[in-house]
Amino acid sequence: HETPVLAKSLRLVHVDDDIVALDKPCSLPVHPCGRYRHNTVVFILAKEYQLRNLRTIHRLDRLTSGLLLFGRTPKKARQMEQQIRNRQVQKDNLRRK
């Protein structure tokens, strides 16, 4: 059995031919790791939304919630990763105490 995660469903913010943006809840890992195989963002996107072969553009830890971006093609993922590296896109983190 896998470690339980929050029962909150994934909320897709934007989907087009190039990217997928979603509001990732905390407690849900992005990729399979450790005890998590099915309770992951990529597994749920593939099973419930038929969104497969997505490329992660940036990471959010399992216990972090926030906007998560995927490229739908290797080319678009590389372009967006480059924009983040070149600081053409700003990433903000809000921490609660």
65 falls within a domain: yes
Residue numbers of the domain that contains 25:
11-85
96 falls within a domain: no
Q: What is the pLDDT of residues 45-58, one digit of tens each?
A: 999 999 999 999 98
Q: How far apart are CA 44 and CA 27, in angstroms?
A: 14
97 falls within a domain: no
Q: If we measure between CA atoms, which residue out of 96, 36, 32 comes closest to residue 66?
A: 96
Q: What is the pLDDT of residues 5-45, one digit of tens each?
A: 665 678 999 999 999 999 998 888 887 777 766 789 999 99
Q: What is the pLDDT of residues 46-97, one digit of tens each?
A: 999 999 999 999 888 888 889 999 999 999 999 999 998 999 987 777 776 6
92 part of the active site: no
CATH of the domain at 28: 3.30.2350.10
Catalytic residue among 16, 17, 23, 61: 61
pTM of the model: 0.81
Residue 4, token pair as written in the block: 């339980």
4 falls within a domain: no
What is the domain count for the chain? 1
Q: How far apart are CA 37 and CA 41, in angstroms?
A: 10
Residue 34, token pair as written in the block: 């450790």
| Strand ranges across the sheet with 66-71 | 11-15, 19-24, 66-71, 55-56
